[in-house]
C-alpha cells in the first residue's frame, strides 16, 4: 500500500452535485431549444468511450494539443516560473504530466492542485500523481471550475491549466463569466494556459463529433441511457437521431439528437412530461471554435490579455497563455 498522502478539499458534496444536476436537467428540458447537461455523457462507460474517441483519426484535438505542448512546454515553464500548477477539470490528468515534468525540470514547482467535480476520479488521479512525483504537495479540490476558482489556494506563482478546448463547451455567456472569474482570481504573477480548437474546414470539425465508426454516436446515446437509468426517463433510442451540425454564425458544432416524429418523453423523478415535435432538437453539448483576434477581444473584455499564442503547423489548435491586465 502506498504511503503517499493527498490532501483532499471538498467544496461540493454528492448531495449538492446530484440536486444541482437534477435542477439543471429540469431547466434544460423546459428550455427552447431543449438541452441536457453534458455531464450525463460521462458515466464510467461514457468516459471509456470518450477515451476511445480521442484516439480516432478524425479526433485531431487531443493529439494536436499534445504536439504543441511537447514543443512548447519548456518555454511555458520558463515563462511562468510557476510553483503551483492548478489543473481545471482535471479528469485523469494525462496531458498535465508534460507540464509537471517541465516545471519540475525548471526547478520551480512545489505544488499540484487538480480541481474536478467528480471526487472518485479526482482522488484516484491525484493519488497517481502523488506517487509519481513524491516531492510535490498534492492538494486535490472537489469543486466546479465555473464557481470555485477564488476558493483555490492562493500561494506562490500559479499556473492554471484549462486544456482540451474544454472552454469551447461553454455557451457564450458562460464563457464570458468564466473568463471574468479568472481575471478576478489570478494574482499579478499568475497565468492561465488555455487549449483552444480553431476554426477550420467545417467538414473536418464535424467529423470529430460524428466519426465514420459510429463511436461518437454510441457515446452520445450512452448519455441518454445514463439519464434513463438515473431519472427513470424513457428516451426511445430508436426515435432520436444523432446529429452534429456546424453552425456558421456561432462558429461552433451543435451536438445532440433530433426527434424522429412527435413524441412525449416521461421523466418520473423530475415529475416531468417532455413533448417533442417532429425533428425537434435535443442538445447534449456545443463545441465552439476560436479565432485568435476574436478571442483576444474576449480576453480584454474580461480583464485579461494574451501573453503568448502557440499553434501547430496546420493552425488547427492553439495554446494561449493569458495574464491579467495590470
> What does the DSSP assignment read for 178-197?
HHHHHHHH--TT-EEEEEEE
Position 98 in a domain: yes
Spatial distance between the Cα atoms of 168 and 179, rounded to a whole number of angstroms:
12
CA nearest 228: which of 265, 264, 258, 281? 265
3: exposed, middle or buried (C-beta count within 10 Å: 0-12, 13-18, 19+)? exposed
What SS3 class is residue 324?
strand
Burial class (CB in 10 A: 0-12, 13-18, 19+), 27: exposed
State pTM to two decimals. Answer: 0.93
Q: Is residue 247 part of a domain?
A: no
The verdict on residue 153 lying in a domain is: yes
Cα separation, 177 vs 165, in Å, equals 17
Tell me which residue has cell 484535438. Answer: 61
pLDDT at 262: 97
Q: Looking at residue 210, what is its pLDDT? A: 96
Domain that holds residue 177: 57-201+289-324
- 246-265 residue pLDDT tens: 999 999 999 999 999 999 99
Q: Which residues of the chain have pLDDT under 50?
A: 1-2
pLDDT (0 to 100) of residue 92: 60
Per-residue pLDDT at 153: 84
User: Taking the chain, what is the end-to-end CA distance rounded to the nearest angstrom?
Assistant: 48
What CATH number does the domain containing 79 carry? 3.40.50.150
Percentage of the chain beyond pLDDT 70 is: 98
Alpha-carbon gap, residue 315 to 38, rounded angstroms: 27
**98-136 per-residue burial string, b: 16 or more CB within 10 A, e: under 16:** bbbbbbbebebbbbbbbbbbbbebbbebbbbbbeebeeb
pLDDT score of 93 = 60
Look up residue 103 and give its three cell numbers: 516545471
Say if strands 111-116 and 137-142 run parallel, antiparallel, or are unpaired: parallel
> What pLDDT sits at residue 1?
41
pLDDT at res. 143 = 87
Please indicate, yes or no, if residue 245 is contained in any of the structural domains.
no
- In 3D space, the residue among 165, 162, 160 whose CA is nearest the CA of residue 199 turns out to be 165
Domain-located, residue 130:
yes
| Phi, psi dihedrals of residue 27, rounded to the nearest 5° | -65, -40
φ and ψ at residue 191, rounded to 5 degrees:
-150, 160
Dihedral angle over CA of 195, 197, 199, 201, nearest 10:
150
Strand spans (E) along 82-136 = 84-88, 111-116
- Those residues whose C-beta lies under 8 Å from the C-beta of residue 292, and which sit 6 or more positions away, are 198, 309, 318
| pLDDT tens per residue across span 187-234 | 999 999 999 999 999 999 999 999 999 999 999 999 999 999 999 999
Cβ atoms < 10 Å from Cβ of 85: 27
The reply to whether omega before 33 is within 30° of 0 (cis) is yes
Count of domains observed in the chain: 1
Amino acid at each position: 500500500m502506498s504511503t503517499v498522502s493527498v490532501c483532499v478539499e471538498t467544496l461540493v458534496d454528492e448531495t449538492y452535485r446530484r440536486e444541482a444536476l437534477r435542477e439543471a436537467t429540469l431547466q434544460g428540458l423546459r428550455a427552447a431549444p431543449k438541452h441536457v447537461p453534458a455531464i450525463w455523457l460521462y458515466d464510467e462507460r461514457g468516459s471509456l468511450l470518450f477515451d476511445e474517441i480521442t484516439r480516432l483519426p478524425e479526433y485531431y484535438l487531443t493529439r494536436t494539443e499534445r504536439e504543441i505542448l511537447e514543443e512548447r512546454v519548456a518555454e511555458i515553464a520558463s515563462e511562468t516560473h510557476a510553483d503551483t500548477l492548478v489543473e481545471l477539470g482535471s479528469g485523469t490528468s494525462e496531458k498535465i504530466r508534460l507540464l509537471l515534468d517541465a516545471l519540475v525540470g525548471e526547478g520551480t514547482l512545489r505544488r499540484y492542485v487538480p480541481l474536478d467535480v467528480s471526487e472518485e476520479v479526482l482522488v484516484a488521479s491525484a493519488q497517481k500523481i502523488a506517487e509519481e512525483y513524491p516531492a510535490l504537495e498534492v492538494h486535490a479540490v472537489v469543486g466546479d471550475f465555473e464557481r470555485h476558482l477564488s476558493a483555490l489556494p492562493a500561494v506562490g506563482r500559479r499556473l492554471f491549466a484549462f486544456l482540451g478546448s474544454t472552454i469551447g463547451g461553454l455557451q457564450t455567456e458562460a464563457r464570458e463569466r468564466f473568463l471574468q472569474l479568472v481575471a478576478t482570481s489570478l494574482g499579478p504573477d499568475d497565468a492561465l494556459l488555455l487549449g483552444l480548437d480553431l476554426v477550420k474546414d467545417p467538414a473536418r470539425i464535424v467529423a470529430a463529433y460524428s466519426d465514420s465508426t459510429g463511436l461518437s454516436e454510441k457515446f452520445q446515446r450512452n448519455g441518454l441511457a445514463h439519464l434513463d437509468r438515473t431519472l427513470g426517463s424513457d428516451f426511445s433510442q430508436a426515435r432520436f437521431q444523432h446529429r452534429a451540425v456546424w453552425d456558421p454564425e456561432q462558429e461552433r458544432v451543435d451536438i445532440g439528437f433530433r426527434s424522429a416524429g412527435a413524441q412525449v418523453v416521461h421523466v418520473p423523478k423530475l415529475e416531468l412530461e417532455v413533448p417533442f415535435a417532429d425533428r425537434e432538437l435535443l442538445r447534449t453539448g456545443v463545441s465552439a471554435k476560436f479565432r485568435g483576434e476574436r478571442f483576444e477581444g474576449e480576453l480584454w473584455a474580461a480583464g485579461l490579455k494574451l501573453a503568448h499564442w502557440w499553434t501547430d503547423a496546420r493552425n488547427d489548435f492553439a495554446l494561449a497563455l493569458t495574464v491579467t491586465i495590470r
